[in-house]
Amino acid sequence: MLEASHHYFNEAADALDLSDQIREILLTPRRVLKVEVVTEDDEGKLLHFTGFRTQHTDVRGPYKGGLRYHPHMDEDHATALANLMTWKTAIVGVPFGGAKGGINCDPRQMSRQELDRVTRAFVKGMSGMLGPTLDIPAPDVNTNAEVMGWIMDEYSQSNGFSPGVVTGKPVDLFGSLGRDEATGRGVMYAMREALKDQGKSIAEVTVAMQGFGNVGTHAARLIAELGGKIIAVADHLGAVENQEGLDVPALIAWTAEHGTVNGFPGGAPFEGADVITWPADVLIPAALEEAITGDNAGDVRASLIVEGANGPTTPRADEILRDRGVLTVPDILANAGGVTVSYFEWAQNIQQFRWELDRVNDELEKVIVRAYADVRTVAKEKSLDMRTAAFVLAIQRVGRAAKARWPIRETVRL
């Protein structure tokens, strides 16, 4: 995954003609933490995991990015995803740098109490690294508002009342209205803007979706509310399709009860891997990385891909899709709604002032529409695809901030 994020960075760096040294400075994380997380399970036996936090760059503001709890979590993932956060925060213009982390545990095998203890042990392990002006975590895969609430509590116990240390908190504990659905809402706005480029609207398209977690459920609901047809959904346990369009609220209710879309009576089951090549106008990968690869990219039938997940497309797949004329809205633009509303939450926390939901959604829409237009302008001016253009814009913004902060004499074309 690190290789892929470096590949995309380097394509943009080529377009900007950056020197090797500048590339290395921009790519190298400022700090990488690996920490033992040791606590007890509910029976009093030892629980032992490894926690990671990569702080990539803070030139544009405090480090910012989610915490992922997943058995595959490792230093490479943390670093690759932290890199993506740096470019993502720059594209939407929120005053943060990039970070990412997590624990190599499987929350599905753990009780709430165990998760709470593991989270608190991890926060202790990150002591000195976190803070409202230092590094601000948020939810990611398999973490949620409840976990963020525990982080705020644990941090506040030694640092005093600090709601701004973490975003994506419960609304009852200084979380922002609209944060929970923000990534999915941002995906919907990005898709709407891309469809405009194709002369279409959400109401006239069909959508296939991989992943039905926080991002997928909210994106699907909002798209369906605008008349788009969600015709195929796959998660890691099963898949369901309905050519007439799935009843999304019913599918969300089913998934909440059963933990999977599998068995949903409002559609027919199919082999989950086929969702990537499903005959739909739009494909939304909203699960994990490397979903679209050199093996299946040639068979993708959608003409638009909106990346809800981080890193769902491998470089080989990206090349195939470009050659085939498939328009991809890259992760660092398409799923930036989450960190955008994280910024709104942080701003509300610092000001001790709550925004109405309409304000959150209106401001989010403005940010994503502007970011899409900015990337589109770079793409047109430099004849680049949307992903490379997004990286170019982000590198320029981070690079210019770095030049303004540090006495860099070298002439850098930024």
Among residues 22, 115, 138, 280, the one that binds ligand GLU under rule CB under 6 A:
138
Q: Which span (152-160, 267-275, 331-339, 371-379) binds ligand GLU, by CB under 6 A?
A: 331-339
Residues 89-118 that bind ligand GLU (CB under 6 A): none
Closest by CA position to 23, among listed 38, 36, 7: 7
| Cβ-based nearer residue to ligand GLU, 5 or 303 | 5
Q: Are 149 and 51 in contact (CB under 8 A)?
A: no
What is the dihedral sign for C-alpha 369, 183, 311, 92? positive
Distance of alpha carbon 145 from alpha carbon 128, whole angstroms: 22
Q: Which is nearer to ligand GLU, 33 or 231 (CB)?
A: 33
Q: Least distance (Å) from ligand GLU to the CB of residue 66?
A: 3
Residue type, 126: M
Residues with a known catalytic role: 100
Least Cβ distance, residue 143 to ligand GLU (angstroms): 8
Residue 372 token pair: 């899409």
Residues with Cβ within 8 Å of 304's Cβ and at least 6 positions away in sequence, in order, are 191, 194, 195, 198, 205, 281, 282, 283, 326, 327, 328, 329
Of 116, 135, 140, 193, the residue at the interface with ligand GLU (CB under 6 A) is 140
Closest CA to 275 of 206, 342, 330: 206
Per-residue x/- mask for ligand GLU, residues 190 to 209, rule CB under 6 A?
--------------------
Q: Classify burial at 3, counting beta carbons within 10 Å of its beta carbon; exposed 0-12, middle 13-18, buried 19 or more.
A: exposed
Two structure tokens written together for 395: 């590198």
Neighbours of 6 (CB within 10 A): 17
User: Count of CB atoms within 10 A of residue 208's CB?
Assistant: 26
By CB under 6 A, which span of 264-272, 292-300, 335-343, 404-412 interacts with ligand GLU?
335-343
Q: Which is nearer to ligand GLU, 51 or 65 (CB)?
A: 65
The mark string for 52-91 relative to ligand GLU (x by CB under 6 A, - otherwise) is: ------------xxx---------------------x---
The stretch near ligand GLU (CB under 6 A) out of 150-158, 169-177, 334-342, 349-357 is 334-342
Q: Of 309, 119, 347, 143, which Cα lies nearest the Cα of 212?
A: 309
| Site size toward ligand GLU, by CB under 6 A | 12
Residue 167 in contact with ligand GLU, rule: CB under 6 A = yes
Task: State yes or no: residue 267 binds ligand GLU (CB under 6 A).
Answer: no
Residue type, 323: D
The residue ranges of DSSP E strands in 41-97, in sequence order, are 46-57, 63-69
Listed ranges 190-198, 249-257, 333-341, 391-399: which one lies at the site for ligand GLU (CB under 6 A): 333-341
Q: Is 310 in the site for ligand GLU (CB under 6 A)?
A: yes
328 versus 342: smaller Cβ distance to ligand GLU: 342
Residues lying near ligand GLU in the complex (CB under 6 A):
64-66, 88, 138, 140, 167, 310, 335, 338-339, 342
